[in-house]
């Protein structure tokens, strides 16, 4: 068990060692931790006559990764755009940290977006800005002093292992590097919620694996809640069966779930024509008998 539960086990050790039970238990049970990070309640959305989302409801708990699977045009990216307030639903409610953002104005959404990070499909880096300026964008907008900005940018680029590319322009980067810079940019300001919109689409398998590792690292070591939109089954494989931990040498390593740990902080939902047709663990998904799901998993 990782993330919140992992934290809980670490905390248990501290309890016995230090005896600081009350404070720690309070932190774990704080209302902000028990509230879902994201909640959809019967959300409907149509463009002209086409139903994009039809009564979608789900929750993303703190430190949980929700993988949204589905074919192109199934409403996966729309779900993310709704959470960011880039689109408004026709009906239903969307809650972020228990706050109903459904009818928030653009101005109000600016505040909510401060705690969210978004990784776009192609990176969506600003072409006219260097890697440094792209990653520093949010901090520059907040008029943070340059010394702090540089420190934070370097920290984020180290996280995605791209510190050497700090002075490059987006046009000089490969597809995978662009996505990683996009991840670094999304993580500036330590958002508690991160959304990935098909971040591995069109990438070679090792680079796609690197992107998934970053998402795992965020989930397990940074306690970030995330939505990972994808239609690639190997992404599901990595995210739902591996976890990140730190070894004795202080290095981040990735281990398979098994005897030692069972991942409960990653769930899958599958969308079809704007409706959730599956919600649960990856093992349940693989056992599902729905012909659409089996065709999606096996490709035939």
Partner 1 sequence: MNPLKNFIFQLQEISLLVWQAFIGLFRKPRYLSETIRQMDLIGVGSLPIVLLTGFFTGGVLILQTYPTLEYYGGQSEAGHAVATSLIRELGPVLTALIVSGRIGSAISAELGSMVVSQQIDAMRALGTDPTRKLVSPRIVALIFMLPLLTVAGDVFGIIGGSIVASNLFNQPANTFLSSVRIGITPQDLIGGSIKPLFFGLIIGCISCYKGLSTTGGTVGVGRSTTNAVVLSSIWVIVFDFFISKALQTVLDIGRL
CB of 134 within 8 A of CB of 187? no
Tokens 């990683």 belong to 180
Q: Is 88 in the site for partner 1 (CB under 8 A)?
A: no
| Whole-number Å distance between alpha carbons of 261 and 256 | 8
Q: How far is the CB of 192 from partner 1 (least distance, A)?
A: 15
Shorter beta-carbon distance to partner 1: residue 138 or 272: 138
Token duo for residue 9: 């086990």
Interface pick for partner 1 out of 127, 145, 147, 248 (rule CB under 8 A): 127
For partner 1, which is the closer residue by CB, 72 or 247?
Answer: 72
* Residue (of 44, 143, 41) closest to 95 by Cα position: 41
For residues 128-147, b (16+ Cβ closer than 10 Å) or e, as one string? Answer: eebbbbbbbbbbeeeeeeee
Using the rule CB under 8 A, which residue among 61, 76, 113, 217 binds partner 1?
113
The residue within the footprint of partner 1, chosen from 37, 45, 94, 116 (CB under 8 A), is: 116
Q: Which is nearer to partner 1, 76 or 272 (CB)?
A: 76
User: At its nearest, how many Å lie between partner 1 and the CB of residue 126?
Assistant: 6
Residue from 125, 214, 271, 285 binding partner 1 (CB under 8 A): 125
Please name every residue paired with 40 in a beta bridge, in sequence order, or none if there are none.
Answer: 58, 94
Work out the burial of residue 67: count CB atoms within 10 Å of its CB; fewer than 13 is exposed, 13-18 middle, 19 or more buried: buried
CA distances from 4 to 142, 245, 261, 265 (A): 30, 14, 13, 8
Among 26, 106, 164, 259, binds partner 1 (CB under 8 A): 106
| Region from 63-71, 136-144, 219-227, 256-264 binding partner 1, contact rule CB under 8 A | 136-144
Cβ-based nearer residue to partner 1, 107 or 247: 107
- Does 126 interact with partner 1 (rule: CB under 8 A)? yes
> Token pair of 207, please?
């680079």
Is residue 251 a contact point for partner 1 (CB under 8 A)? no
């Amino acid at each position: 068990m990782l993330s919140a539960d992992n934290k809980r086990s670490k905390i248990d050790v501290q309890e016995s060692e230090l005896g600081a039970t009350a404070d720690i238990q309070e932190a774990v049970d704080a209302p902000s931790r028990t509230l879902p990070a994201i909640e959809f309640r019967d959300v409907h959305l149509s463009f002209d006559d086409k139903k994009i989302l039809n009564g979608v409801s789900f929750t993303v708990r703190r430190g949980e990764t929700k993988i949204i699977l589905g074919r192109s045009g199934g409403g996966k990216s729309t779900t993310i755009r709704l959470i960011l307030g880039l689109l408004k639903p026709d009906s239903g409610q969307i809650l972020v940290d228990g706050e109903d953002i459904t009818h928030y104005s653009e101005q109000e959404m600016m505040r909510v977006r401060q705690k969210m990070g978004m990784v776009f499909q192609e990176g969506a880096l600003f072409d006219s800005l260097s890697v440094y300026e792209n990653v520093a964008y949010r901090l520059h907008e907040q008029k943070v002093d340059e010394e702090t900005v540089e420190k934070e940018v370097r920290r984020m680029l180290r996280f995605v292992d791209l510190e050497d590319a700090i002075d490059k322009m987006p046009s000089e980067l490969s597809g995978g590097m662009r996505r990683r810079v996009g991840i670094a940019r999304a993580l500036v300001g330590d958002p508690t919620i991160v959304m990935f919109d098909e971040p591995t689409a069109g990438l070679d398998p090792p680079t796609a694996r690197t992107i998934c590792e970053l998402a795992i690292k965020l989930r397990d070591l940074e306690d970030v809640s995330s939505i990972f939109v994808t239609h690639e089954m190997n992404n599901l494989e990595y995210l739902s069966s591996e976890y990140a931990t730190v070894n004795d040498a202080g290095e981040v390593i990735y281990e398979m779930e098994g005897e030692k740990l069972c991942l409960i902080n990653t769930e899958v939902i599958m969308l079809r024509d704007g409706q959730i047709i599956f919600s649960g663990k990856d093992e349940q998904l693989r056992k599902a008998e729905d012909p659409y799901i089996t065709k999606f998993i096996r490709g035939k």
